[in-house]
Amino acid sequence: MRDSILLFLRANRRHLADLAIASLLVNAFVLTLPLFSMLVYDKAVGNELHETLWALALGMALLFALELVLRLSRVLLVEHAGARWDMHLDERLLRGVLAAPASRPLAIGTLLSRYRELGATRDVLSAQFLLPLADVPFALLFAIVVAVIAGPLVLIPIGMGVLLLAAGGVLQAAAARRSRVATQASSTKLSWLVDVLIARESVMSVAAARVAERGLREPSATAARAASRARVWQQVSQQLLPVGMSACTVLTLVAGVYRIEAQALSVGGLISTTMLGGRLVSSICLFAPVMLRWQEFLRALRDMAQTVALDAATPPGHEAGGQIGPLGAAAAEGVRLAGVGFAYPDRPPVLTDLNLTLKPGELVAVVGSSGAGKSTLLRLFAGHLVPTSGQFALGGRVVADDLTRRWLAGAVAYKPQEPGFLAGRLQEVVAPSEGGSREAELLRTLRVAGLGPQLDRGELGLNTELGSNGAGLSGGQRQMLALARVLHQTSDLMLLDEPTLGLDRQAQEGFLAALPGWKEGRCVIVATHSAELIQICDRVLVLERGRLVADAPPQRLLAPGAVGPRTPAPRRPAAGDTTSA
């Protein structure tokens, strides 16, 4: 987080320097109006100095025009820097989300709530807050000018400003405390809403609507009450300012009368003192809300950094700073596991002491009962997880940190058990980085994946718009689309988690016929419960409670009287396989 802020300041140091110069000139010009008023009252009124009056008025008009230009320039500078910050933060946020290891699940509701909170406090880097903050240091300039003109009368606006600043600080702090309570409750509420949306059909089918309502009611009430109280404290703080400025004006005028009678101050001097005193009070009072808003922004940024590693995120395509490239000839070394184990935080081990070597050209099946660790093993191969013990290497390169893990995630072709898609055209979903340069090859891949009939009937095409996560497609079509996406990638390692899940008989037969041809030049690993698929593989790895209990050709494992665990009968995997199988 700190590095992100420093990077932003360094990137915008030129704009910030221009902002400081413009603020100096703008605040210097602010002094001209009170001084002009003093000259008019003391020199022009009653002396018929009309030429001098018009000369001063013309000069003020020119200054006003220049001041307007400078003020608009400040707005443009600040908003340009703020827009750059927004883009910078969003990019790092997305990179952090993509780089987060799967062993540390991201709570969607919490992430969205904190992103919303961060968005609500981003205006601290806008002209609305930065320009008043830039003017605060010049309160000292106004105090010096008032002291020169009115002497001890300067203590009135200074005292009123300090009093309002202290009161505003206390009230804003109270509002901030209630805002934090509201934010936490809103995060809980949003997390619950996300859970309800994800499980909406299940909630409706088991008549759990009342449970859903009860789960939402308490955080919703807490958030509403806390947010309301926070707004009340903020309004009290805001309403104090005009009352305090009016009181300051009255006190200044009353004290000024005595100074005039003592011939220590002129009428024009009193008028200019009143004007500058109001500006001085305003500058002092603005410091508290701006600084509290800045603290809220830092807190929101810190909370987001605890959810997503903003500073650790690395731009895609630059993971190794040019030090890690494609496998090339090193791919011949294949995949090697040496004593590999894995456990999710605060959970029992999912994988234990795995030792094996897989070579290119092999078609390997991973079988086992639900919860045996099949899906977890494939996610480890895909770079979504990092072993908690032992050593995992691909092409001789050890995957031991986030850097190599992200490189691995981009170097393998992986189809998860439950594939996900971003909204867009079918061509963009299958080949997001290619544009329209390889349409013929893409169509062939779609046919190999089993989508030929849909293409022939015109139900699907390269320009077909797909909804979020493949909305509008059947379960089998989503699986075939995920297969097409994997097949279209050029990789040395292909990972397929339950590839026949949801496919009809014809699509399964086509897939089983094509699968052996995909292993040429690369290693293909398939997690499955399908006996037909197991029979066409070169090797079968049998997992039991996270341990490798058998590694042999399918003929040996399926032979009558074979020693070792039997291959489980074909069945649909349990829902828990997605994360723990």
Q: What's the pLDDT tens digit per position in 21-78?
A: 888 888 888 888 888 888 888 887 777 778 888 888 898 899 899 989 998 988 888 8
What whole-number percentage of the chain has pLDDT above 70? 84
The confidence score (pLDDT) of residue 433 equals 63
Q: Residue 112 has what pLDDT?
A: 79
Architecture of domain 328-412+491-580: 3-Layer(aba) Sandwich (3.40)
Overall average pLDDT of the 210-231 stretch: 87
Q: What is the pLDDT of residue 327?
A: 47
Q: What is the pLDDT of residues 107-136, one digit of tens each?
A: 777 777 788 878 777 777 778 777 887 888
> Which pLDDT score is estimated for 367?
92
Domain boundaries, the chain: 2-307, 328-412+491-580
Summarize pLDDT for 378-417 with one digit per residue, the tens. 988 888 888 888 888 887 778 766 667 667 766 788 888 8
Confidence of residue 331 (pLDDT cuts 50, 70, 90): low
pLDDT given for residue 581 in this prediction? 40
Nearest to 376 by CA among 415, 575, 384: 384
Greater confidence (362 vs 4) lies with: 362
Q: Greater confidence, 246 or 503?
A: 246
Is residue 269 packed enough to be buried (19+ CB in 10 Å), middle (13-18) or exposed (0-12)? buried
Q: What is the mean pLDDT of the chain?
A: 79
Side by side, the strands of the sheet bearing 335-343 are 349-358, 335-343, 389-394, 397-398
Higher pLDDT, 244 or 403: 244
Q: What is the pLDDT of residue 201?
A: 64
251 pLDDT more than 90:
yes
CB 366 within 8 A of CB 541: yes
Q: Which of 101, 520, 568, 41 lies closest to 266, judged by CA?
A: 41
Q: What is the mean pLDDT of residues 169-188?
A: 85
Q: Are 278 and 249 in contact (CB under 8 A)?
A: yes
pLDDT in tens, 441-451: 888 888 888 88
Buried b (16+ CB within 10 A) or exposed e, 412-450: bbbbbbbbebeeeebbbbbbeeeeeeeeeebbebbbbbb
The pair of three-digit structure tokens given for residue 379, joined into one six-digit string:
């996610």
Percent of the chain whose pLDDT exceeds 90? 9
Amino acid 254: pLDDT = 92
Q: Cα(363)–Cα(524) distance, rounded to whole angstroms? A: 5
Q: Angle, to 10 degrees, between the axis of helix 155-198 and the axis of helix 209-261? A: 170
pLDDT in the model for residue 9: 65
* The pLDDT value given to residue 101: 64
- Please state, in angstroms and rounded to a whole number, the distance separating the CA atoms of residues 381 and 348: 20
Poorest-confidence range of 192-201, 212-221, 258-267, 411-420? 192-201
Cβ neighbour number for residue 236 with a 10 Å cutoff: 15
Model pTM score:
0.62
Q: For the residues 131-145, what does the mean pLDDT come to?
A: 84
Residue 573 pLDDT greater than 60, yes or no: no
What is the reported pLDDT for 525? 92
Average confidence (pLDDT) over 87-99 = 78
CA distance 499 to 529: 10
Question: How many C-beta atoms lie closer than 10 Å to residue 464's C-beta?
Answer: 16
The number of helix segments (H) and strand segments (E) in the chain equals 21, 12
Highest mean pLDDT (candidates 79-83, 218-222, 299-303): 218-222
CB burial string 56-70: b at 16+ within 10 A, e below: beeebeeeeeebeeb
User: Quick one: pLDDT at residue 203?
Assistant: 66
Q: Tell me: pLDDT of 563 over 60.
A: no
pLDDT score, position 140? 86
Q: Is the pLDDT of residue 287 over 70?
A: yes
Q: What is the pLDDT of residue 328?
A: 46
Residue ranges with strand state E in 331-423: 335-343, 349-358, 363-367, 389-394, 397-398, 413-415
Alpha helices in 152-208 (DSSP H): 155-198, 200-205
pLDDT of residue 304: 80
Rounded Cα–Cα distance for residues 310 and 299 (Å): 14
Q: Say yes or no to pLDDT of 360 above 80.
A: yes
| Triad 562, 372, 386: Cα angle to 5° | 125
pLDDT tier for residue 580 given thresholds of 50, 70 and 90 = very low
Only one residue has tokens 């190999």, namely 448
2-307, CATH topology level = ABC transporter transmembrane region fold (1.20.1560)
pLDDT at 322: 38
pLDDT confidence of residue 565: 43
The DSSP code sequence of 505-518 is HHHHHHHHHHGGGG
The predicted structure's pLDDT at residue 572: 41
Tokens of 276: 């500058």
Chain position carrying tokens 């509002």: 175
Over residues 505-549, the pLDDT tens digits come to 888 888 888 888 888 878 899 998 888 899 899 999 999 988 999
